[in-house]
């Protein structure tokens, strides 16, 4: 779920005075000001700013791709963002809500149909009693309210993991010396920044016990700040998977830095490239690991808990897979593809394949399961088309 990307995008905008987001911006600005004042009083801010943060200088002796690479060429690196895999629960909850909406609408239509035709559910003459009128009045009130609440308040949040881009991508292009953010419009849109303007805020001389594992955040200051409560704005991307500790974070950053500064031969090929094909088993495996900041990973630490919670992860994984199917596979605009020397034919085929094939093989799998459960000939669809 792209919650953090949404929060930072909303934080850069101007909101109606007195609105909820305007109040949040005021509170955040006040907390930042109080924190800076406290750091200046204790001289911690001067100590932090005095640490070396040169973008081009090495931060670690070893490199680690963090299992975050989609594609590595001689020109660019395509890297995932942290929240790409954090999805599924919202889809489950809102899917249940949609089912409730459908049930309420069907029930209301059934009651109205009985009232109009004068026949009850069994075809007999309808004699409306107090229970019938109570159910009809409640349905007439509740159903529109539920639909209004869903489309007015809830549907917009579903876009954080469905009906949007299937993944957000950060591209580091060493030929153009640019960094590209691929995001939907409501999260900031596609942006292009100079590599030299990026800041990862990873001091090399920070002891490992002072740093914490987490997300690699890279960003740059913006000139077009619409937030009236802040003097400056930043555009930040949460790059890669969660890191175990600060040294792991430095190693991941060093992989990117060496690629941009020293070339593709300066870093090894990714141990395992991230796949873009939606897969229900892969979705269940993804959610069962959790993979939270600080290196908390059920796959490494609490395997027994992972096994105990298998039914939960199966349901969650289905929601994860459904959210992927409800999204579309994105690609960079043509100008960026041309600057990255991408093959247009390959890019188009990949776009069609990633968007068309998953619904097809999912439908085929569901049909095979249904046919097996009901002892049907799995070739019935082919026979109806005259192929069997």
Considering only 138-147, 211-220, 245-254, 265-274, which range has the smallest mean pLDDT? 211-220
Predicted confidence (pLDDT) per residue in 299-334, tens digit:
666 777 888 889 999 999 999 999 999 999 999 999
**Residues 192, 59: one domain?**
yes
Q: What is the pLDDT of residue 59?
A: 82
CA distance 101 to 154: 13
Full strand arrangement of the beta sheet holding 191-194: 69-72, 76-80, 169-173, 178-182, 191-194
72, 140: one domain: no
Mean per-residue pLDDT, 262-283: 94
* DSSP labels, 250-288: HHHHHHHHHHHHH-GGGSPPPSSPPP-S--HHHHHHHHH
Residues 177-200 have pLDDT tens digits of 999 999 999 999 999 999 999 988
Pair 146, 200 in one domain: no
What would the pLDDT profile of 337-349 be if each residue is shown by its tens digit? 999 999 999 999 9
Domain membership of residue 310 (yes or no) is: yes
| Range with lowest mean pLDDT among 267-281, 309-323, 370-384 | 370-384
- The answer to whether the beta carbons of residues 84 and 167 sit under 8 Å apart is yes
Cβ(163)–Cβ(1) below 8 Å: no
Query: What gap in Å lies between CA 236 and CA 168, rounded to an integer?
Result: 12
Give the pLDDT of residue 47. 54
pLDDT at 19: 86
Of the residues 158, 177, 212, the one at which a domain ends: 158
Say whether both 192 and 71 belong to one domain.
Answer: yes
Q: How much of the chain is in helix, strand and coil states, percent to nearest 5?
A: 50, 10, 35
**Closest of 329, 246, 288 to residue 70, by C-alpha:** 329
DSSP letter, residue 150 = I
- Tokens 């596609």 label which residue? 190
Please report the beta strands in the chain, taking only residues with DSSP state E, as ranges in sequence order. 69-72, 76-80, 169-173, 178-182, 191-194, 216-222, 233-239
Residues β-bridged to residue 128 = none
277 belongs to a structural domain? yes
Q: How many H-runs (helices) and E-runs (strands) does the chain carry?
A: 13, 7
- In terms of Cα–Cα distance, which of 131, 88, 134, 139 is closest to 110? 139
Q: Do 81 and 146 have their domain in common?
A: no
In a domain, 273, yes or no: yes
Q: Tell me, yes or no, whether 98 lies in a domain.
A: yes
Looking at residue 327, its pLDDT comes to 97
Domain count, the chain: 2
Confidence of residue 294 (pLDDT cuts 50, 70, 90): low
Residues 76 and 110 in one domain: no
What share of the chain in percent tops pLDDT 90? 58
Residue with tokens 């911690």: 44
Q: Same domain for 185 and 309?
A: yes
- Classify residue 64: in a domain, yes or no: yes
- Token digits for 30? 């006040």
Phi–psi pair at 380, nearest 5 degrees: -55, -45
Please give the structure tokens belonging to residue 303. 């395997």
pLDDT of residue 379: 87
Check: CB of residue 192 under 8 Å from CB of residue 237: no
- Same domain for 169 and 294, yes or no, is yes
Q: In terms of domains, do 283 and 152 share one?
A: no
Question: pLDDT, tens digit, for every residue of 33-67?
Answer: 787 677 666 555 455 444 445 677 888 889 999 99
pLDDT computed for residue 207 by the predictor: 59
Region 146-173: mean pLDDT is: 95
Q: Which of 158, 175, 192 is the last residue of a domain?
A: 158
Q: Is 376 within the bounds of a domain?
A: no
Q: What is the pLDDT of residue 359?
A: 96
For residue 275, is pLDDT > 60?
yes
**Least trusted range by pLDDT, from 154-158, 212-216, 326-330:** 212-216
Q: How far is CA 252 from CA 67, 79, 168, in A?
A: 10, 11, 18
Calpha distance 161→156 (Å, rounded): 10
Distance CA 208, CA 276 (A): 33
Question: How many Å separate Cα 288 from the centre of its chain?
Answer: 17
From 158, 192, 211, the end of a domain falls on 158
The region, left, alpha or beta by phi > 0 then psi within -120 to 50, assigned to residue 184 is: beta
Residue 189 located in a structural domain: yes
Please report whether residue 276 resides in a domain: yes
Which range of residues forms the domain containing residue 267?
3-11+54-88+161-342
What is the rounded average pLDDT of the residues 213-242? 85
| 233 and 166 both lie in a single domain | yes
Do 154 and 178 share a domain, yes or no? Answer: no
What does the CA dihedral 224, 226, 228, 232 come to, rounded to 10 degrees? Answer: -30
Same-domain status, 67 and 190: yes
**Residue 18: pLDDT band by 50, 70, 90 thresholds?**
confident
DSSP state of 243: P
């Amino acid at each position: 779920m792209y919650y953090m990307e949404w929060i930072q995008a909303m934080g850069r905008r101007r909101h109606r005075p007195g609105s909820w987001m305007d109040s949040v911006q005021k509170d955040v600005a006040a907390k930042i000001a109080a924190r800076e004042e406290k750091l200046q009083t204790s001289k911690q801010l001067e100590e932090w700013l005095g640490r070396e943060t040169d973008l081009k200088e090495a931060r670690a002796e070893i490199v680690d791709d963090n299992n975050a690479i989609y594609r590595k060429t001689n020109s660019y690196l395509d890297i995932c963002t942290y929240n790409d895999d954090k999805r599924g629960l919202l889809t489950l909850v809102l899917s249940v809500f949609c089912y409730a909406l459908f049930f309420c609408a069907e029930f209301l239509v059934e009651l109205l149909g009985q009232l109009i035709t004068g026949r009850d559910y069994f075809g007999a003459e309808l004699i409306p009693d107090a229970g019938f009128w109570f159910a009809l009045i409640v349905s007439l009130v509740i159903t529109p309210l539920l639909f209004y609440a869903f489309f007015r308040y809830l549907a917009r949040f579903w876009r954080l993991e469905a009906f949007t881009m299937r993944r957000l991508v950060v591209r580091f292009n060493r030929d153009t010396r640019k960094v590209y953010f691929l995001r939907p419009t409501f999260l900031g849109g596609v942006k292009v920044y100079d590599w030299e303007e990026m800041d990862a805020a990873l001091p090399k001389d920070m002891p490992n016990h002072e740093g914490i594992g987490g997300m690699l955040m890279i960003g740059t200051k913006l000139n077009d700040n619409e937030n009236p409560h802040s003097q400056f704005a930043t555009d930040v991307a949460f790059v890669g998977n969660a890191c175990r500790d600060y040294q792991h974070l430095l190693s991941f950053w060093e992989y990117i830095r060496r690629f941009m500064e020293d070339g593709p031969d300066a870093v090894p090929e990714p141990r395992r490239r991230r796949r873009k094909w939606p897969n229900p088993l892969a979705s269940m495996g993804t959610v069962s690991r959790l993979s939270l900041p600080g290196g908390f990973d059920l796959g490494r630490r609490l395997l027994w808990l992972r096994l105990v919670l298998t039914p939960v992860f199966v349901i969650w994984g289905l929601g994860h897979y459904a959210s992927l199917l409800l999204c579309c596979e994105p690609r960079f605009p043509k100008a960026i593809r041309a600057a990255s020397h991408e093959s247009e034919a390959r890019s188009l085929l990949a776009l069609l394949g990633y968007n068309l094939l998953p619904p097809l093989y999912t439908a085929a799998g569901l049909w095979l399961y249904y046919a097996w459960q009901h002892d049907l000939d799995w070739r019935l669809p082919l026979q109806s088309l005259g192929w069997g």
